[in-house]
């Protein structure tokens, strides 16, 4: 959903529950940060999403929020917030026995999304999605899917 924010995720959780998936991959936050939603609020929304998913017997998989490249406006300022959010998400994952996929580490260099993986500084190219897909595939295989 274009320009979606984590608050929107919360409003649509019922749609996820009705599908009764075994796993649910969660990634987001960059649109929140660009809408000047504080990291604390983004993190709280993320936790509420994860708790909701878990309460319905679904295994959540946290995916790090992707950085933007230097080509995207306010990249340095916003990527500092992305780093803060990702650190909190990784800590939460560890403390709550939730799998954490460090996509940012895979797709970035020096806390910037690699230019060859984006066509505009924020949205991924096919090459970016291919890398992401390989990581998702690894997780699916570990869960027998």
pLDDT in tens, 37-75: 999 999 999 999 999 999 999 999 999 999 999 999 999
Q: What is the pLDDT of residues 69-103, one digit of tens each?
A: 999 999 999 999 999 999 999 999 999 999 999 99
- CA dihedral (106, 112, 117, 119) in degrees, to 10, reads 160
Strand ranges for the chain from DSSP E: 23-26, 59-63, 99-101, 108-109, 112-113
pLDDT at 2: 74
pLDDT at 44: 97
pTM, entire model: 0.95
CA distance 118 to 29: 17
CA distance 43 to 39: 6
Of 40, 29, 34, nearest in space to 7 by CA: 29
């Amino acid at each position: 959903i274009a320009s979606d924010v984590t608050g929107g995720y919360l409003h649509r959780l019922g749609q996820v529950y009705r599908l009764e998936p075994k796993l649910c991959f969660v990634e987001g936050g960059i649109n929140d940060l660009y809408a000047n939603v504080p990291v604390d609020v983004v993190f709280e929304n993320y936790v509420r999403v994860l708790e909701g998913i878990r309460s319905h017997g679904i295994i959540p998989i946290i995916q790090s929020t992707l950085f933007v490249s230097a080509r995207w406006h306010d990249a340095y300022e916003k990527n500092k917030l992305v780093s803060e959010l990702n650190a909190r998400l990784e800590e939460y994952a560890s403390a709550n026995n939730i799998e954490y996929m460090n996509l940012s580490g895979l797709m970035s260099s020096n806390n910037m999304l690699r230019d060859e993986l984006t066509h505009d500084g924020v949205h991924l190219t096919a090459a970016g999605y291919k890398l992401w897909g390989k990581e998702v595939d690894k997780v699916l295989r570990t869960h027998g899917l």
